Structure 1
Amino acid sequence: MSTFFRAFVLMVIVLQSVQLSGCGFRLRGSADYPMKQVFIESVSAPRMAYVLTRELQNANLTIAESKNNAEVIVILSHEILDRRTLSVSSFTGKLEEVELNYRIHLSAKKATGEVLIEPQLISLLRDYQFEETAVLAKADEEIMLGEELFREALVQIMRRLQMLRVG
């Protein structure tokens, strides 16, 4: 490789680094949250509450034992994963396409009662083709898509908590 080509490649890398740093880009690392103590209240959302608790602890937040000790109270409710038929073959009458819908309600408030996140629905959809000849594989695909929807909802909740104005 010629010296000119190496210098050119190095210059391109440096310019890209400068551009990325100038636009606010940064690598994923530990997330910053505007609070230190959180209480998670779950109303029919036990799985999300458990995983969110674990993720927040990994981010060095303290999970409060009671609402009174928390800076922020996160309320999760009505966690549901629905399966719906999207299409059926007009010739055979057999299932062809399925839709998965993961939904959870989220709200947050201070211990004083001040609302930080108005009650809102997080709803995520995925659909897939169903093949009768690969029932086991499609069942596994449905499980994987359900997990993907759950993880995506978790990330959305965590981002919304990062954006709170607690102070």
Structure 2
Amino acid sequence: MTLSLKRRQLLVGSAALAASALLAGCGFRLRGPQPLAFATLHIGISEYAELGAILRRQVATSGTTTVVEDAAQAEARLQILSNQREREILSLTGSGKVREYQLTQRIRFRLIDRNGQEMIPPTNLLARREYTFNDEAVLGKSEEESLLFRDMQSDLVSQIMRRLAAYRRPS
């Protein structure tokens, strides 16, 4: 009985070791802050705007880049060309009341160097979410909409950060 238990523990241990070796060998890495290719960055949106604050926080966690407020001192400038939020009716009930909404957030940005040369050309990012609406729970559905917009914005900021991290200087 104890021999069988030891064999089972040995098999489980070697299976775990093999799985971790496979994950390490394939280049798997937990998502985390990624280094950016420039030391200083100017973000062209107010630090008091929700999007500006989130972007500044994400850049600060990269560990390699400092956000500067003076665009002339920055190695790169992130320009937010547009940030739009929309809500449209997706479906109606038989009595003509709204059943579902579709929320959309679009961000258009570009990255330029201190000489005005494009490092990342104007890029459009889009996030969509749908939710059901209920006239009897207007306050709750309003809060749900706010949470969905916050989630979309977080997703779009993550996409921007991945694009910034993927940029490599031309040789």
State the TM-score, normalized to the length of structure 1: 0.90
User: Offset at 1:104?
Assistant: 1.1
Q: Which runs of 5+ in 1 are unaligned?
A: none
User: Offset at 1:160?
Assistant: 0.5
**Aligned residue identity for 1:39:** H
Could you tell me how far apart the structure 1 residues matched to 2:152 and 2:62 are? 22
Q: What is residue 38 of structure 1 aligned with on the other side?
A: 41
User: Offset at 1:135?
Assistant: 2.2
Q: What is residue 85 of structure 1 aligned with on the other side?
A: 89
Q: What is residue 130 of structure 2 aligned with on the other side?
A: 127
Could you tell me how far apart the structure 2 residues matched to 1:80 and 1:55 are? 21
Q: What is residue 50 of structure 1 aligned with on the other side?
A: 53
Number of equivalences: 165
Percent identity over the alignment?
A: 28
- How far does the alpha carbon of each residue in 1:114-135 deviate from its partner, in whole angstroms, 9 at most, with x for none? 2111111111111111122322
Q: Which runs of 5+ in 2 are unaligned?
A: none
- How far does the alpha carbon of each residue in 1:42-99 deviate from its partner, in whole angstroms, 9 at most, with x for none? 39x933222201221232321123222211111013212211111111x211100100
**Aligned residue identity for 2:77:** I
User: In structure 2, which of residues 77, 102, 112 is the aligned counterpart of residue 73 of structure 1?
Assistant: 77
For the 8 Å contact 2:43–2:69, the answer to whether it is kept is: no
Could you tell me how far apart the structure 2 residues matched to 1:148 and 1:56 are? 18
Counting only pairs closer than 5 Å after superposition, residues 11-160 of structure 1 correspond to structure 2 as 11-42=14-45, 46-60=49-63, 61-89=65-93, 91-160=94-163
State the TM-score, normalized to the length of structure 2: 0.88
Cα RMSD for the two superposed structures = 1.9
